[in-house]
Structure 1
Amino acid sequence: MEKRNRKNQLILRLSEDEKYILDAKCKNAEYRNKNDYLRHLILYGYTYFVDYSELHDYNVNLSRISKSLNQIAARISSTGNTYQDDIEEVKELMKQVWHTHESMLSKQPYRKH
């Protein structure tokens, strides 16, 4: 009988989509077989988790800013007049948009391509 150094067996159940993805990745990675590919992922692969709470806050802020801009646009449309206060408010809202945008970008991990 053949002597094995890997005595532990793992049974993995996959959906059709998951199996298709695994097959495609194994083929593209040019491993001899799926076992080699999966073993390499276990030993050298990594996973990461993304906290989307800040993205949610970002979307809430953009929504609030958008509503304010729509109110200003409706006011201008109904009166036909543009007021300096409206222009200043739009400028301030745009500053908030850029501040929020820059804040989100600054919190992204640096990835070298």
Structure 2
Amino acid sequence: MANRERQNELKIYLSDDEQYILQQKWKASSMKSKSAFIRHLILYGYVYDVNYEHLREYNTTLARIGNNLNQITKRMNATGNVYEADVKEVKELMKQVWQSQKSMLSKQPSIKQ
């Protein structure tokens, strides 16, 4: 023990699920020992902190657009007529949906290796 290259012990507690996942990933890595696998994760692994705030904004925007479309549909059903102004408004709302979609996708995190 005195000649051991690594002197610091690491002790962690895992749930059954976490233990199973660790076991499966270690086996898939074909590394000789679990210690070597964990050291490799510590030295070369990645931790991602992803902010999904833009998804909340996206959902809020879509909800507003959906409410507007429902109001137009209700008006069309009540009158039995389709007005040019309503069609234009629906087209504009669909543009907003696509713009919102593009904006949301542009904010997705990209993983670079």
Same-fold call, TM cutoff 0.5: yes
Match in the other structure for 1:101? 101
Match in the other structure for 1:49? 49
TM-score norm. by structure 2 comes to 0.92
What secondary structure, in the 3-state scheme, does the structure 1 residue paired with 2:56 have?
A: helix
**Partner Cα separation in structure 2 for residue 82 and residue 43 of structure 1:** 64
Match in the other structure for 1:62? 62
CA contact (8 A) 2:54 2:107 kept: no
Root-mean-square deviation (CA), in Å? 1.5
Aligned-residue identity in percent: 54
TM-score norm. by structure 1 comes to 0.92
Show the 5 A alignment for 1:25-44.
25-44=25-44
Point out which structure has higher relative CO (alpha carbons under 8 A, 6+ apart).
Answer: 2
> Which residue identity is paired with 1:53?
E
Q: CA deviation at 1:109?
A: 3.6
Would you say 1:14 and 2:11 are equivalent positions?
A: no
Match in the other structure for 2:88? 88
**Partner Cα separation in structure 1 for residue 31 and residue 78 of structure 2:** 67
After the TM superposition, which segments of 4 or more aligned residues of structure 1 sit over 6 Å from their partners? none
* Structure 1 unaligned regions, length at least 5: none
* Structure 2 unaligned regions, length at least 5: none
- Worse-matched range after superposition: 4-13 or 72-81: 72-81
